[in-house]
Structures are given as structure tokens and as C-alpha cells.
Structure 1
Amino acid sequence: MSNALADTIDEVIVDPKTYGDEHAYHDAFHWLRQNDPVHWSEPADYRPFWAITRHADIMAVELNAANFLNDPRQFLVTTADEDALYEQTGSRKFAENLVAMDNPKHKAYRALTSAWFGAKSLRSLEDEITALARETVDRMIDTGGTCDFASEIAAWYPLRTIMIVLGVPREDEPLMLHLSQKLFGSVGGADGMAGMVEAFNAFNDYFSKVTADRRVNPRNDVATILATATIDGEPIGEAERNAYYLIVAAAGHDTTSSAISGGLLALLRNPAEMAKLRADPDLIGTAVDEFIRWTSPVKHFFRTAVADCEVGGKQIRAGDSLMMCYPSGNRDEAVFEAPFDFRVDRKDAKKHLAFGYGPHLCLGNALAKLEMRILFTELLRRVEDIELAGTPTWVEASFVSGVKSLPISFRAAQVET
């Protein structure tokens, strides 16, 4: 990174356009790791924070949940938007979901659905997800050999999986896709808080109707669990319930679709790795971890220090905000061998921090990996000669972002389905 860019590092790491350039944010974080890995940042239009860019420091902060709270700051939002939210709601928290909760509340609410997202429940879903992956590849092949893989394929497959988990009918998927993309595109994007609030209110309206239905017509789905959930014998609050629906529906979709698109793009740009995976399908588990490390769809979360302490040799004061920079941790040279090399057989791929770490490890991480493993197994078995057919583009958002458009050409393989 040039000295000129180093002088503007604070603005670079908060600018949504940085995350629309796959090289820009990696260059910025590489400079920080090398020169100022725990960096005090005072960008214009944002409250100041510490940028935590090394793998070990991110792990240390996330493991110490007693001293580093999720409340009240979860992600980058301009000071103006934070103030506007406070005026509307009396809180600087966007939603009372798992991401915003700390113990003991977080532990109690996470327990409501942890079994559903555990190994036993996922085994019961595997056949349904496999059928969905086959249907997804069928749809891809039916395009006739060219498609935008990001918008036409990767955006829909994880969405449908999450809708199965929640029990949402297929005809409502376009609405869920629109709302989740609007929500995450607004966080650290052009629409700002207004777009977030609009999407969140629409989610609330939709899932209020779902809740009413499940109380009368319970099913074997997460919506029924949330509609009838109690903690310490008391029904959970409406705000917490609606926020829970949102985090399952939106977070479980947009992040996985970004990892799928980014994973395929990495394979296309590294044909030797594509050939390696085709030759040895048993590598798929390791390859999926590498897809996730490589793409890091969630770019950051925040923590707030409870007491004065030290992180990475820097003195942190009580009340300071810390930004956990996951793409940086996932390219940390101290942890990953040749971190800027994409390797489907990477031995250290599981060390990635893309799902977070510690008590707030992503609840749906096993489901996301299962979805990706099944889809890529089906895709590589049935589709050949996949090539880029245009220039990929990226979402410009500082919180959750990834490939926006991935034009490809391909040929269907002659195999039994």
C-alpha cells in the first residue's frame, strides 16, 4: 500500500466502495497487520473504534465475552444513522437478536434453536437439501449453458434451504430474497439506516402472521419453535421473536450465497485447484472451509470493552468499540501458510474466523457447510467446462458483502442423475 493510501486508511476501511473491490480491502488490512494491527480509527461520519486485524487478537477478544460485549454496537453505521435510530426507538441497537445479546440472555435465546441446528436435525434435513441441490443444478443446466451464477443460482439455493428450516412457502421466496438483500445491502451500503428499518419492518409484518399461524397450526419447523418459545416459563418478547426470525432468514441466506459464488469464482480463477477437486471429491469438506475462509462474507462485527484492558499491546479503555476484521484474520500470515493462495486441500483452512469465534460462533455454521458441500458435489458431478463469461462484480457494503454478479458459461456432463 502506498503512503497516500496509508494516510487515508481510516476512510478506506469504512467506505462501502472498498468492499466492492476484492483487492482494496485486503490491501488495507494487510497494511494494518504489518504496521498497526490494533489500530485506533477516527473516520469522518462514524464514531471512532479500534480495528482488530490479527487472527490471534480477534480470537482473544471474542473468547472474552465477559469483558467484550456485543451490546450496544454491532456493525458500522454512520453517526447520523445511529442518532436517527435513537430518536426513533430510544436505542442505538438495530434489533434485539442473537448478535446484539450478551449472556445470560444470549445463552438462553441461543438454546431455543441450538438443537435444531445441531447434527441430528441436520441429518434429517440432508435428503431434502440434496433434492434441492439437484433441482438447483437442473435449473442451472436448463439455462442452456450460460447464466449469472450469483443471481440466478447461488442466491436461491441457500434461501430455499432457510425457508425449509423456517417453514416458509416457496411462493414467498422472492419477497424473502428481496428483503434479506435489502437489509444487508443497506448495512454499510448506500441506503443506510432507512433501508435497514424498511426491510426490518417488512420482516416483522410477515413473521407476525407466521407466528399467529404456528400457534394454531404447529409444524416441525423453527417458526413453530419461535412462535411458542418460552424462557423461565414466560413467552419470549415480540421484539426478540421477530429479530430471531430475521437473523435466521437473512443471515442464513446472504452469507452462504456469497460463499457459494465466491467459492466458484475462486475455482474458475485457479483451474489446477478445480481439477484437483474434481479428481478427488473427498476433498470437498476441506474445500468448503477454504471457500469460506477465502470469501469471508461477514466483514466485521463489533465488541465494546467493559473495563480498561490490553489487546495486542494497545491500551483499550472501558467503553471503546472494537471492530473484528474477519477478512484480515483469514489472511493472517502468522496463521495461514501462503494465505493469499487458494487451495482446496488447505490443511489449515478450518482455522478461519468467518463464522466468528467463542460464544457467538455462528449458530448455523454446520448447516451452511452442509449446503455448500452438497451443492458443489452435485455441481461438479454434472457440469463441465465452466468458464467466466464476463467480469464479476461485488456488492458495495461494509458489513456483509460478496460477489454480486458472476456470468459463466458451461456444459452439462453426460451422467446419470
Structure 2
Amino acid sequence: MAVNDGLSGAQAGAGTQGDERPLQEVVFQEPDFFRDPYPAYARLRSEAPVWWCEEQSAWLVSRYEDVRAVLLDAQTYSNRPHQGLYGPYDDDNAGSFFLKDQPEHTAWRRIFTGGGGFSAAAMKACRDVMEEICADLIAKLPAGDIDAVRDISVPLTAGFLARLYDLPADDAPWVEAITDFYHPGTAELTPTLLAYFEDLVKKRREAPGHDPLSKAVLANDSKGPLLTDQQMAWNFHDLVLAGAASMYAAIAESVAVLAENPETQDSRHWESSEAAERSTEEILRWLEHSHWLFRTATVDVELGGRRIRAGDGVFPLIASANRDDDVWGNGSELDLGRNAGVPNLAFGYGPHIAVGAMVARAFLATMLPILVRARAPFRLGGVPERVLGNGVSTPTTIPITPADES
């Protein structure tokens, strides 16, 4: 089963498709670019796999092996913010381990992951909770038209993470910020969110539970503490909200992929846990919510035949890497039967791989079979809407309607 290349929900001919302009004239930050960036990514892989982009003042790295090498080598390619890209995150006092280098990154990350809250064993234990939440919400969906964002992805994300972290799912600042996290509007909410999470640190210290946030507070306190309460609040902010934003986008876009490609709703792709996991990995490879990450070279280094200087910005294009024909054979085709020999980079790779990657993967592999059994066949009921920019495509509306079974 194969489907022609294209961004989920993109209109034919949008973005750079068929665009023969020199790469120097392609504006990689404009919203129209993200409507269908894959032809430009293919040109980069073919013509200039490591390419200096004046617009970004950074190197664009587009081939899978080069992207994976950058993500794996945290000493050569720093995760520290490049040229103020992250605004308030550039301040050392922000204290987010997401943006730290070794050895701080490992020491801080272990505070939040050392308790085993994100391990394979923990996710296996969460399967029943995932199935319960997904089955309950999907069973209550209206019979007619729905919005995959409003009716499925946001309530599922909030409901599950509320259970995982023992947080309120209703009328809480963190829930309101889920859909805006990767875009400028969320900056206005940051002071309120930080106050909320700093108060949460104190509450979990006074009355700890068995959730990952409580375990993180106890682990930090046992080390001195290593982090201040303000730094813990920043890390809670990023751990909960970055994870929630990525998870909700992955859920919504996965539903869009199924709706656009009826073959993917065939029960054989979802009839066993092995089939569901394989299909989920292919969908994650295909859809890409985050198009690139940010790194800064710490030393002069050669990559793809180009000389990168210390201090240069480096953008590993994970969406491009996930379509690389040299790795996937037919990277521009969606094939749920694909037995990939290498991991996709949907949630990053190496020491900075997303903490919640295993959570999101397990949740999608649980939710999608339930949705297919309950709702197939279905299709898009209109044109999806997304907020596009800064390397991220975030869905705001994905209309879904029942399909004619004939």
C-alpha cells in the first residue's frame, strides 16, 4: 500500500512543489513553505545535503545519516540556544534541562527520569489506563462530523497526562497552554504557568505521590537539592507542556493521515499489537509535527563535505531525514507494512531524545486501533487548519466526517 508524497492536509501544488527557484530564494520560514516542504527537502538532500542558509544564518542538514550524527554527537553540536531563538529560555536561570549540554544535561535529566516514570516498564503498566481513557472518549464521540483536534487529541492528551502526572484536567493553566506551546502566544502565559508549577513543586514536596513529578522533587531534594524550586518549575513547565503539545499534535495529525488515506484504515494494520506498533512508527515517520531542531557547533567540524565553524548554527531537518530514500527505499511513500530497519527521528535521537517519546508512541499505538475499530471508514470533512512557522506545524482544526462504505 503506497500513498503519494505530501504533508498531511496540504493542498496539491502548495508550498514549494514544482518550485525550480535556486535554493537561495526559497524562504524556509514562511508559512507557505510548511504547507508542502518535502520537494525542497528532497532537493536539499540531492543538491546540497549540508547547506548554508543565509535566511536562517545556519547550516541545514537534510540527509538521515547526517541528521542522526548531529543529534547523537552532543559534544560537537551544542543544544544551547542559537542566536536567541528561545527568548526567555536563553537565560541560565530558566534552568530547563532540555537546553543544557553535558554534563549538566545528564545530571538534570536523571532527576526527572531516574524514578522510572518514563521507562518501558512504566508504559506497559500504563496501557490499561491508556485503553480506558481512549475507549471511553471515542465511545462518546458524536456519530456525525467531529474535529480531531477539539474532540479527540486535546481531551485525550489532557486526560491522560492528568492521570500520569496527577494533575487537574479541568480549569488548569497547563491545559489552556497545550495548543499554543510552540508559538509566540504562549509567552504571555509563561509567568502564570511558572507560578503554577512552582507552587506544584512545593505541594509535591509536602505530600508526594507516585507520579513522575513527585519522584522528581524527591530525587532533586536528595541531591542537595541540585535545582532550585524555580528551576524545577521551569523543568515541569517544559516536561508537561512540551510533551503535551507534541502528543496532541501527533494524535491529531495521525487521525488526519488515516482520514486522507483510506487504505490505512484496513483492520490488518491494527489487528495485533505488533501491527499497531509498526503502523504507528510509519505514521510518525510520515507526518512530522516538528520539522527541525536547533544546534550550535562547538568546534570546527566537517559534515557532508562542508566545513562548519565553531559557533555556527546547525539545523538538523528531522522531517527531511524521515523521507530520505537512501534509508527508507521509498521515503516519499506511506507504507504501513514497512518493516523499518532504522528508527525514525520523529521525537529526536541520542541523548536529547524527547523524554516522553515512549509515552507518545505507546499512546498512539493504543488509541489508533480503538479509533479504527469504532469509526472506520472516515475521511476529511474539510481543509485542516494549522499554525505554521519556526520549524513547527501545529494543527488547530482537522474536520473528520463518516465515509460512505460503498
Shorter-chain TM-score bucket reads 0.7 to 0.9
Task: Give the corresponding residue for 1:15.
Answer: 30
- Per-residue Cα deviation, 1:304-342 (whole angstroms, up to 9, x for no partner): 111111011100111111011111111111111211111
Asked if the contact 1:290/1:349 (under 8 Å) is kept, the reply is no
1:171 matched to 2:170: yes
The residue type equivalent to 2:369 in the other structure is T
The residue type equivalent to 1:305 in the other structure is A
1:120 matched to 2:121: yes
1:257 matched to 2:248: yes
Asked if the contact 2:259/2:400 (under 8 Å) is kept, the reply is no
Give the superposition deviation at 1:366: 1.1
Where does 1:220-299 land on structure 2 (aligned, <5 Å)? 220-228=210-218, 229-230=220-221, 232-275=223-266, 277=268, 280-281=271-272, 282-299=274-291
The residue type equivalent to 2:146 in the other structure is C
Task: Give the corresponding residue for 2:110.
Answer: 111
Give the superposition deviation at 1:373: 1.0
CA–CA distance in structure 1, aligned partners of residues 189 and 300 of structure 2: 37
1:311 matched to 2:303: yes
Task: Give the corresponding residue for 2:82.
Answer: 73
How many residue pairs get aligned? The number is 383
Asked if the contact 1:166/1:223 (under 8 Å) is kept, the reply is yes
Q: Identify which range, 177-186 or 109-118, moves more after superposition.
A: 177-186
Give the superposition deviation at 1:127: 1.5
The residue type equivalent to 1:376 in the other structure is L
Q: 1:16 to 1:306 in 2, by over 3 A?
A: same
CA–CA distance in structure 1, aligned partners of residues 51 and 276 of structure 2: 37
Task: Give the corresponding residue for 1:191.
Answer: none
Give the superposition deviation at 1:300: 1.6
Give the superposition deviation at 1:30: 1.6
Asked if the contact 2:139/2:374 (under 8 Å) is kept, the reply is no
CA–CA distance in structure 2, aligned partners of residues 342 and 75 of structure 1: 36
1:27 matched to 2:39: yes
Task: Give the corresponding residue for 2:138.
Answer: 137
CA–CA distance in structure 2, aligned partners of residues 295 and 18 of structure 1: 15
Where does 1:88-99 land on structure 2 (aligned, <5 Å)? 91=90, 95-99=94-98
Give the superposition deviation at 1:410: 2.8
Asked if the contact 1:93/1:100 (under 8 Å) is kept, the reply is no
Match of 1:383 among 370, 375, 378: 375
Task: Give the corresponding residue for 1:50.
Answer: 59
Asked if the contact 2:180/2:186 (under 8 Å) is kept, the reply is yes
Q: 1:30 to 1:95 in 2, by over 3 A?
A: farther
1:161 matched to 2:157: no
Q: 1:391 to 1:166 in 2, by over 3 A?
A: same
SS at match of 2:177: helix
1:214 matched to 2:213: no
Q: So what's the TM-score if we normalise by structure 1? A: 0.85
Asked if the contact 1:150/1:403 (under 8 Å) is kept, the reply is yes
Task: Give the corresponding residue for 1:192.
Answer: none
The residue type equivalent to 2:132 in the other structure is A
Q: 1:360 to 1:122 in 2, by over 3 A?
A: same
Q: Give the share of equivalent positions with the same residue, in percent.
A: 24
Q: So what's the TM-score if we normalise by structure 2? A: 0.87
CA–CA distance in structure 2, aligned partners of residues 197 and 161 of structure 1: 25
CA–CA distance in structure 2, aligned partners of residues 372 and 256 of structure 1: 9
Task: Give the corresponding residue for 2:14.
Answer: none
Task: Give the corresponding residue for 1:2.
Answer: 19
CA–CA distance in structure 2, aligned partners of residues 317 and 183 of structure 1: 32
Give the superposition deviation at 1:287: 0.7
Task: Give the corresponding residue for 2:384.
Answer: 392
CA–CA distance in structure 1, aligned partners of residues 282 and 351 of structure 2: 23
Give the superposition deviation at 1:3: 3.3
CA–CA distance in structure 2, aligned partners of residues 288 and 252 of structure 1: 18
The residue type equivalent to 1:13 in the other structure is F
Q: 1:125 to 1:237 in 2, by over 3 A?
A: same
Give the superposition deviation at 1:35: 1.2
SS at match of 1:403: strand
Give the superposition deviation at 1:51: 0.7
- Per-residue Cα deviation, 1:12-49 (whole angstroms, up to 9, x for no partner): 21224422x1x1x2122122111111111111xx5x11
SS at match of 1:334: helix
Q: 1:269 to 1:217 in 2, by over 3 A?
A: same
Give the superposition deviation at 1:272: 2.2
Give the superposition deviation at 1:242: 1.6
Match of 1:328 among 317, 320, 327: 320
CA-based RMSD of the aligned residues comes to 2.4
Q: Identify which range, 396-405 or 236-245, moves more after superposition.
A: 396-405
CA–CA distance in structure 2, aligned partners of residues 185 and 235 of structure 1: 30
The residue type equivalent to 1:339 in the other structure is G
